[in-house]
Chains A and B, each alone.
Chain A
Amino acid sequence: MRPGMQIVVNGATREVAEGLSIASLLEELQVEPKHVAVEVNLELVPRGRHSAHTLSPGDRLEVVTLVGGG
C-alpha cells in the first residue's frame, strides 16, 4: 500500500493515499459525481478536472450537493 496523507473533507480529517485524484476520492466516498461540486482550498475545481487534479497533504475540501431550501 502507498504511503498515506491527511486531508480535510467537509471539516473531518481523512487518511488517504498520496497523490489521490478528486475523482478517486469521490469514488472512495461513494458519492454520485453528478450530484456534487468540489472546492479545494476555497477554489472550485470543475468536474472536467476531477481526474487530473491530484490532492496534496493538508488540502481542505468541500464536497457539496443540493438540498431543500427556500
Chain B
Amino acid sequence: MSTEVIKMPTADSLRLGTHTLASRLIVGTGKYANYAQMAESLEASGTDCITVAVRRERLIDSQGRNLLDFIDTNRYLLLPNTAGCFSAEDAVRVARLGREILLGLENAGADWVKLEVLGDKKTLLPDPVATLEATRQLVAEGFQVLCYTTDDPITARRLKEAGATSVMPAGSPIGSGQGILNPNNIRICLEYLKEDDTDYPVIVDAGVGTASDVTMAMELGVDGVLLNTGIAHARDPLGMARAMKAAIEAGRLAYLSGRIPKRLYATASSPEEGTISSLKPR
C-alpha cells in the first residue's frame, strides 16, 4: 500500500514592496474596548501586519499603559499611519516620527507608512492633491508609501506614477461599514494599476462592515483588505475576527478559481436527456 502525500498549495503570500505577508488581511489596532480584546482579536484574524497611529504621549497617565505593552512587535509587522493629518506637511512629519519609533523598536515596518491625508472631518475622505504631494515627498525620503485614497481610478494611477508601493482605495468612508459602494470603480482601478504590472498590489482600505464585504473585495481581484472598525466595533469582536479570516480566504480562493459568468436564463444542472414521459409538453 502506498502512502499518498497530499501536497499543500504553495503559500499564497502578499508582496508589498520589500515586505511579504502570510495573510492578506491587515488589521487596525484602534477602537477596541480594551487592549486584551484587541490582542485576542488580532490573533484570531490570522493577520501578521497591524496598523498603528502616532499621537502625543499623555504625560500624566496614572496607569502608564502603552499599546506597546500589549503587542508582540517581534510577531507583527507594524504599519504606522498618518491618520488625523489634514496637510501634506503634517503627514510627512508624522511619517518621520512613526519611522523613528519603529526604528527604536527594531521593527521592520520602519521603512513604510500608510499615508492618510484627509480632506475634512465629516467624511474623512482623502485630499487627493495633498496625498499626491505627500507621496512624492515620502518616496523621495525613502519610504515605501501605501496610499489611502478614494476609488477614483485617475487618482489611483497618479499615485502609482508618483511611486506609491501600493494604492489602497476605500470601499466606502472610514468606519462607515457601508462595504464596497462602487465595485466598478475598484475594477477599473485594478485594470489601470495592474495593466503593465500584474503584481502591483492593490488593497481595499476602509468601509468594510462585515465578512461578505471582505469576500466581495477579494473576488474583484484586490490583493488584500485593510480594516479596523468592522472587527473592533462588532458585537463580538473575536467572533468577527474569525469571520474576517475565513472571508479573506474564501474571497481569494474564489477569485483564483474563476467564477462562472452571469447569465440571464437558467442552465440545468441535471441531465436533460432521459427524463420520463411527460404529461406536459416542454
Interface residues of A (CB under 8 A from B): 9-12, 29, 31-37, 39, 42, 44, 46-47, 62-70
Interface string of B192-235 (1 = CB under 8 A from A): 00000000000000100000000000000000001111000000
Interface centre among B30, B32, B59, B174 (most CB of A within 10 A): B59
Contact of B131 with A by CB under 8 A: no
Whether A66 and B56, one on each chain, are in contact in the complex, defined by CB atoms closer than 8 angstroms, is no
Whether B97 and A70, one on each chain, are in contact in the complex, defined by CB atoms closer than 8 angstroms, is no
Q: Considering only CB atoms, which chain A residue lies closest to B52 in the complex?
A: A66
Closest 5 CB pairs of A and B: A69-B53, A70-B28, A70-B228, A37-B100, A68-B29
Q: Among A31, A34, A64, point to the contact of B105 (Cβ < 8 A).
A: A34
Q: Considering only CB atoms, which chain A residue lies closest to B73 in the complex?
A: A66
Q: Considering only CB atoms, which chain A residue lies closest to B89 in the complex?
A: A42
Whether B57 and A63, one on each chain, are in contact in the complex, defined by CB atoms closer than 8 angstroms, is yes
The answer to whether A63 and B56 touch (CB under 8 A), given A32-B66, A68-B30, A68-B31, is yes
Q: Among B57, B83, B101, point to the contact of A69 (Cβ < 8 A).
A: B83
Whether B93 and A69, one on each chain, are in contact in the complex, defined by CB atoms closer than 8 angstroms, is no
- Nearest chain A CB to B164 CB, angstrom units: 19
Cβ < 8 Å to A, chain B residues 76-129: 78, 80-81, 83, 93, 96-98, 100-101, 103-105
The answer to whether A64 and B55 touch (CB under 8 A), given A37-B100, A37-B101, is yes
Residues of A within 8 A of B78 (CB): 66
- Count contacts on B: residues with CB < 8 A to the other chain: 37
Bound-complex Cα distance A42 to B206 (A): 30
Bound-complex Cα distance A10 to B54 (A): 13
Bound-complex Cα distance A11 to B58 (A): 11
The answer to whether A70 and B174 touch (CB under 8 A), given A44-B97, A64-B54, A64-B101, is yes
Whether B103 and A47, one on each chain, are in contact in the complex, defined by CB atoms closer than 8 angstroms, is yes
Residues of B within 8 A of A31 (CB): 57, 59
The answer to whether A68 and B97 touch (CB under 8 A), given A34-B105, A35-B68, is no
Whether B59 and A9, one on each chain, are in contact in the complex, defined by CB atoms closer than 8 angstroms, is yes
Q: Among B28, B31, B66, B174, point to the contact of A35 (Cβ < 8 A).
A: B66
Residues of B within 8 A of A12 (CB): 59
Bound-complex Cα distance A22 to B59 (A): 15
Query: Could you list 7 further interchain pairs (A-B, Cβ under 8 angstroms) beyond the known A44-B100, A64-B54, A65-B67?
Result: A36-B101, A37-B101, A44-B96, A63-B56, A68-B32, A69-B53, A69-B81
Cβ < 8 Å to A, chain B residues 47-77: 51-57, 59, 66-68
Contact of B38 with A by CB under 8 A: yes
The answer to whether A42 and B93 touch (CB under 8 A), given A47-B104, A68-B32, A69-B28, is yes
Residues of A within 8 A of B206 (CB): 70
Q: Considering only CB atoms, which chain B residue lies closest to A11 in the complex?
A: B56
Whether A35 and B101, one on each chain, are in contact in the complex, defined by CB atoms closer than 8 angstroms, is yes
Bound-complex Cα distance A7 to B30 (A): 31
